[in-house]
């Protein structure tokens, strides 16, 4: 008798019986979920009712304002909350402006000059010619209290010897 059925008929029968079985299971056990699925989820965002909801007190505060069971914790003595702009690690108020201002710019120019001199095998006269451009660009640097550190940087990185008088006259 089984020889009279083709494979195509067999698979069609399996498909039909399987779909009938799962349809019966869905209709018996998942009827509410099926109704929600077919109605595209009903746009109401109500929470599901709970048996215990009538025995629970509603909180007086919104969840964003809730401070926890014990309230807000007290910060440690001597600490405070500050914004990112108020954080600094230097003792001197001018330290921040020096880090972001004139001195780093001049040092960067000097590094570029030394790099050019190294590539082109420059001499002392080439250095003084390039320093005229730096002096014109940063004329106010001569009165800066950190000019000693700049001159020391120049003396350490120059490929030739510079006397104290030459270093002092460099910014005049």
Under-50 pLDDT residues of the chain: none
For the entire predicted model, the pTM comes to 0.42
In a domain? residue 89: no
- DSSP state, 141? G
* DSSP 8-class letter at 160: S
Task: Provide the total of helices (H) and of strands (E) in the chain, helices listed first.
Answer: 7, 0
State residue 24's pLDDT score: 95
Q: How far is CA 136 from CA 39, 64, 94, in A?
A: 78, 59, 24
* Residue 11 confidence (pLDDT): 95
Encode pLDDT of 31-57 as tens digits. 988 888 888 755 566 777 777 777 777
**What pLDDT sits at residue 7?**
92
Domain-located, residue 63: no
How far is the C-alpha of 122 from the C-alpha of 113, rounded, in Å? 10
The number of folded domains in the chain is 2
* Position 17 in a domain: yes
Q: Using CA atoms, how far apart are residues 147 and 107, in angstroms rounded to an integer?
A: 11
Output the pLDDT for position 98: 52
- To 10 degrees, the CA torsion angle through 27, 31, 36, 38? 20
Residue 44 maps to a domain:
no
> Tokens 């399987």 map to which residue?
18
pLDDT computed for residue 151 by the predictor: 85
What range defines the domain where residue 114 resides? 99-169
- Residue 65's pLDDT is what? 58
Evaluate whether 117 touches 161 at the Cβ level (below 8 Å): no
């Amino acid at each position: 008798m089984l020889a009279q059925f083709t494979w195509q008929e067999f698979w069609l029968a399996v498909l039909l019986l399987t779909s009938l079985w799962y349809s019966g299971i869905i209709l018996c056990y998942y009827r509410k979920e099926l109704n929600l699925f077919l109605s595209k989820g009903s746009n109401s965002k109500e929470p599901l009712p709970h048996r215990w909801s009538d025995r629970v007190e509603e909180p007086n505060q919104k969840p964003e304002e809730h401070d926890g069971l014990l309230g807000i914790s007290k910060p440690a003595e001597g600490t405070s909350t500050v914004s990112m702009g108020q954080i600094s690690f230097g003792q001197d108020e001018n330290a921040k402006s020096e880090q972001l201002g004139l001195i780093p710019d001049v040092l960067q120019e000097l590094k570029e000059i030394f790099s050019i001199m190294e590539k082109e095998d420059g001499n002392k006269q080439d250095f003084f010619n390039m320093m005229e451009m730096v002096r014109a660009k940063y004329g106010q640097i001569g009165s800066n209290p950190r000019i000693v550190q700049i001159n020391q940087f120049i003396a350490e990185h120059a490929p030739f010897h510079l006397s104290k008088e030459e270093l002092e006259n460099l910014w005049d």
